[in-house]
Amino acid sequence: MACAENISSTKLLSENDQVILKKGKCCQVFQIKKKRFVWLDKVKFTLDGVIGHRYGTTFRVTNGEMVKVNKKELDEAFQSTEQGKDNRGLHDLDSNQKLSRDDIELMKKTGMEGEKIIDQLIENSTTFKDKTEYAQEKWIKKKKKKHLQIFTVLKPTARLLCEMYHGKAPQKICHIRIDTLAQILTYSNVRANCNMAVVDTTNGLVVGAVLERLGGHGKVIHFHTGEMTRPALEAMDFPQHFLENLYSFPLNQTNQIENPDSPYDEQSESRNKNGSKPDQTQNDCAKETENKNKNETESMDQTENEVKTENDETKEKDCADLSKSTDTVATKETGKTTGKPEGNQGKRKHRDRETREHSRNLRNKRIREAKQLLLQKNMDGLIVACKYHPTPIVLALLDYIAPCRPIVLYSQHKEPLMDCYAFMRERGGIVNFRLTETWLREYQVLPMRTHPHIGMSGGGGYLLTALTLMKPTS
């Protein structure tokens, strides 16, 4: 992974690349597009200035464009030579600042840079020189966050995406915290040249973290539900040889793994096109029973049906005459005005139909390959991180995990994991059960000011880990 990080750090950014713009704790994923405006932290700008630079570069937004700045010079720009001994005689009053809010807004409207605005605030502050060194740094940091529009361009990684989702919308990743994600990868023993089965409903965060850890060496089968949406995985912008080792398999088709020659799409299409014989026989049996039970009312139904059919025939004739007349008028009008666009639309529909068929065939081929990989029953681990109850999922996939391999289950609540623990222990062939919860507290580490952060997360979910030992013999 060190080689991959070095390559990503030396790569020059280009259009269509995925980047994370970070300003303090505010960060968001964007795709680089020329002449397209984006919004972040109440600022509107384009990403054209990022092209040609490397990840980790710091930019300032000026007149809606991103301009590269030197972060070290920016940090050294605000240093006061006069400092006070303590803050006991200082009071937080509005009169401490000579500039009013209207004056500051006027500076912004005239296009004054953020550094100059902060310099004006320092000069017009009556208490800044009397503050201690730590208090001055804290005050300047607060003003920088408010008046400087400076962003750092970073490469999307599993850690950054987990922190971003957990800070903005934790429900999209099932409230997985960064330390919990690290434990999932550690307990499941994800490494190069291993094959992993992953059940993921966290927008592709866990799948992306596994692919990132594999480094392009090893295969991953992603079991998904419904339409496959993986924005976190797409944001990581993996190369093609990474994605070739990723297989997608519908979770509701796990009962058909033992039948490798019948992908679910082909079955559904064959049922819709040709019809299924069991359904026809059931309909015939139903008709026979209805005829036997309703022999007495057949005569009345036949008379009523004859009257209805006569009326329907007359209505159908009238509608057919009207449709013919309208069709002739429409063909005359379209023939005069638009003759070629109809052909273009037909070609476009034909092309769309061909692309759909090609994607369907490719998807069926990938599902068939995933089935063959599962039928070897030699997967190196199972990871379940989803919002559904894990018990039926685990029991359906346990047979395809090799002996002496780890099983890692994540849930936001402990009750589903306790239920799954009872079922797996009753099944047999699994040992070394552990149900854990991690407590995390972040610390601020600064000279003479090291203390825990005021705000901290209440919980990062629960983990149930186990080890497959042998196949139970019936």
Return the minimum-mean-pLDDT range out of 117-131, 229-243, 335-349, 389-403.
335-349
Return the minimum-mean-pLDDT range out of 10-19, 143-152, 280-289, 405-414.
280-289
221, 367 contact by CB (below 8 A): no
pLDDT higher than 80, residue 296: no
Amino acid at 135: A
Tokens for 454, please give them: 């005021």
d(CA 35, CA 48): 7
Q: What is the pLDDT of residue 94?
A: 80
Q: What is the pLDDT of residue 78?
A: 64
Q: Which residue has the higher pLDDT, 188 or 71?
A: 188
Q: What is the pLDDT of residue 76?
A: 64
67, 49 contact by CB (below 8 A): yes
Return the minimum-mean-pLDDT range out of 33-37, 111-115, 344-348.
344-348
pLDDT digits (tens, 9 = 90+) for 435-450: 999 888 889 898 888 9
Interval 421-440 mean pLDDT: 92
Q: What is the pLDDT of residue 178?
A: 94
- The fraction of the chain above a pLDDT of 70, given in percent, is 77
Return the minimum-mean-pLDDT range out of 246-255, 302-311, 357-366, 398-407.
302-311
Torsions phi, psi for 219 (to 5 deg): -120, 150
pLDDT higher than 70, residue 320: no
Q: Which residue has the tokens 């022999």?
A: 295
Q: Which residues contact 128 (CB under 8 A, 6 or more apart)?
A: 80, 122, 136, 139
Q: Which residue has the higher pLDDT, 264 or 226?
A: 226
Give the 3-state secondary structure of the chain.
Answer: CHHHHHHHHHCECCCCCEEEEEECCEEEEEECCCCCEEEECCEEEECHHHCCCECCCEEEEECCEEEECCHHHHHHCCCCCCCCCCCCCCCCCHHHECCCHHHHHHHHHCCCCHHHHHHHHHHCECCCCCCCHHHHHHHHHHHHHHHCCEEEEECCCHHHHHHHHHHHCHHHHCCCCHHHHHHHHHHCCCCCCEEEEEEECCCCHHHHHHHHHHCCCEEEEEEECCCCCCHHHHHHCCCHHHHCCEEEEEHHHHHHCCCCCCCHHHHHHHHHHHCCHHHHHHHHHHHHHHHHHCCCCHHHHHHHHHHHHHHHHHHHHHHHHHHHHHHHHHHHHHHHHCCHHHHHHHHHHHHHHHHHHHHHHHHHHHHHHHHHHHHCCCECCEEEECCCCHHHHHHHHHHHECCCCEEEEEECCHHHHHHHHHHHHHHCCEEEEEEEECCCCCEECCCCCCEECCCCCCCCCEEEEEEECCCCCC
Model confidence at 248, pLDDT cuts 50, 70, 90, reads very high
CB atoms within 10 A of CB 471: 14
Q: Is the alpha carbon torsion for 301, 303, 307, 312 positive or negative?
A: positive
Q: Which residues contact 122 (CB under 8 A, 6 or more apart)?
A: 78, 80, 128, 140
pLDDT higher than 60, residue 331: no
Q: Which residue has the tokens 């797996």?
A: 424
Q: Which residue has the higher pLDDT, 431 or 9?
A: 431
Q: What is the pLDDT of residue 9?
A: 57
Tokens for 80, please give them: 């006061």
Tokens for 117, please give them: 């605005």
Pick from 471, 465, 474: nearest CA to 401: 471
pLDDT digits (tens, 9 = 90+) for 24-74: 888 899 999 999 999 988 888 999 999 999 999 999 888 888 889 887 766
Q: What is the pLDDT of residue 122?
A: 86
CA distances from 303 to 51, 258, 293, 310, 418 (A): 79, 54, 19, 11, 65
- The fraction of the chain above a pLDDT of 90, given in percent, is 43
Model confidence at 166, pLDDT cuts 50, 70, 90, reads very high
Edge-first strand listing for the sheet containing 218-224: 246-250, 218-224, 194-200, 382-385, 406-411, 462-468, 430-437
pLDDT higher than 70, residue 253: yes
pLDDT higher than 60, residue 104: yes
Q: What is the pLDDT of residue 90?
A: 80
d(CA 243, CA 216): 8
Return the minimum-mean-pLDDT range out of 3-17, 155-169, 309-323.
309-323
Pick from 198, 227, 226: nearest CA to 211: 198
Model confidence at 473, pLDDT cuts 50, 70, 90, reads low
Return the minimum-mean-pLDDT range out of 49-58, 322-331, 374-383.
322-331
pLDDT higher than 60, residue 341: no
pLDDT higher than 50, residue 16: yes
Model confidence at 140, pLDDT cuts 50, 70, 90, reads confident
Q: What is the pLDDT of residue 75?
A: 65
pLDDT higher than 60, residue 23: yes
